[in-house]
Amino acid sequence: MTAYNEKEEWIRKSIESVLQQTYENLHIYILLDNPENNQLKKIIEEYAAADLRITFIINEQNMGLVGALNKLISVVEEKYVARMDADDICDKDRIAKEMQFLEKYNLDFVMCGIDFIRDEKRENGPSVPTLIGERFNECEKYGNFATHPTWLLKKEVYDRLEGYRDVKYCEDYDFVLRAIQAGFNCGRLEDVLLLYRVRSSGISVSYAYEQFEKADLLRECYKSGRDLLEIDIDDLNSKFDEDNETIKEKFDKAKLKLDKFAGNLYEHKLVSCIGIVITGFLFSSMFRKLFIDTFKNNMATRRIFSDTEEVK
């Protein structure tokens, strides 16, 4: 777990949800990547003093998420590693169920389902069946089904891949695809075992356009069978060094409209859905791209889901 600017209530719930796991054989590594945040420092020190399972590390200066995670991985000595964000909440059986799933199907890398916390209210996450092996690998061509803070994997995976690459805002998707290409066995447990907090200032919101474009490039590379290591990360990141505010604004508006469409569809407000699609297609090329890409990817994954045999 890395911490940076989480609210006191969030990080306390997060840490306590890990301490209360039914799987007790845990060593908890927490890195504070904001040495000037004295409030977080005090809170984490309090937990570390009360529970010897916690190792607390403070960076001398901010390294960013990729640097912080790689630093943590470098000091882990255990055979397995579980990821966790400092504002999310684990189900008490998360680690136990993920370990059982990993061992039952002889997997190297597993993850689970999520629900969301939005404005302190719980919302249903995406409904995805259990995916193992080639079916999981196939689904990753159409979206990232490996939500980062739900990961549990063998330390060997991190070691062989040499940790995360600095693909800003897409380091997790890049890692998963490289793990598949390296021959590791991956699987996603259907059970919802984590509450994922959606923050208005979070990376997925603040850098949504850049994340979308990079994920699309990684996905196309993976689909074509090209080795992701051939991608020049510095070149990829430099394409977004100069923010094009016009494109970002168009993307944000189109994404907002698409989210509204999805909400109305869920509530069966078909007339509103039709209106959104018509105005979106008429007046926004960005909306057309997002809508068509989302539709195609959803149809592809639904076909895979429908072909998935029940896993028991």
| Sequence-distant contacts of 173-178: CB under 8 A, at least 24 apart | 173/144, 173/146, 173/215, 173/218, 173/219, 174/218, 174/228, 176/109, 176/140, 176/144, 176/146, 177/140, 177/218, 177/221, 177/222, 177/228, 178/228, 178/229
Instruction: Record the pTM.
Output: 0.93
CATH topology for 2-222? Spore Coat Polysaccharide Biosynthesis Protein SpsA; Chain A (3.90.550)
Rounded to the nearest 5°, which phi and psi values hold at 195?
Answer: -100, 120
Give 260-300 pLDDT, tens digit per residue. Answer: 998 888 788 999 999 999 999 998 999 999 999 999 999 99
- Strand (E) or helix (H) holding 166: none
pLDDT at 310 > cutoff 60? no
CA distance 64 to 68: 6
- Domain assignments of the chain as residue spans, ordered by start: 2-222, 243-307
In the block, tokens 């509103």 appear at 272
Of the candidates 65, 61, 46, the residue with the CA atom closest to the CA atom of residue 3: 65
Give 204-232 pLDDT, tens digit per residue. Answer: 566 888 899 999 999 999 999 999 999 99
% of the chain residues with pLDDT over 90: 82
Distances (CA, A) of 156 to 73, 76, 203, 271: 11, 11, 28, 52
pLDDT at 243 > cutoff 70? no
Task: Give the distance, in angstroms, between the CA of residue 308 and the centroid of all CA atoms in the same chain.
Answer: 23
User: 257: alpha, beta or left, given left = phi > 0 and alpha = psi -120 to 50?
Assistant: alpha
Across the range 70-78, mean pLDDT stands at 96
CA distance 193 to 83: 13
**Which pLDDT score is estimated for 312?**
47
Of the candidates 233, 242, 228, 71, the residue with the CA atom closest to the CA atom of residue 166: 233
Where does the pLDDT of residue 309 fall: very low under 50, low under 70, confident under 90, or very high at 90 and above? Answer: low
pLDDT at 58 > cutoff 60? yes
Do residues 87 and 118 make contact, with C-beta atoms less than 8 angstroms apart?
Answer: no
Pair of tokens at residue 138: 């196939």
CA distance 212 to 235: 17
Q: In sequence order, what are the beta bridge partners of 189?
A: 112
Give 124-169 pLDDT, tens digit per residue. Answer: 998 999 999 999 999 999 999 999 999 999 999 999 999 999 999 9
Mean of per-residue pLDDT scores for the chain: 93
CA distance 207 to 161: 25
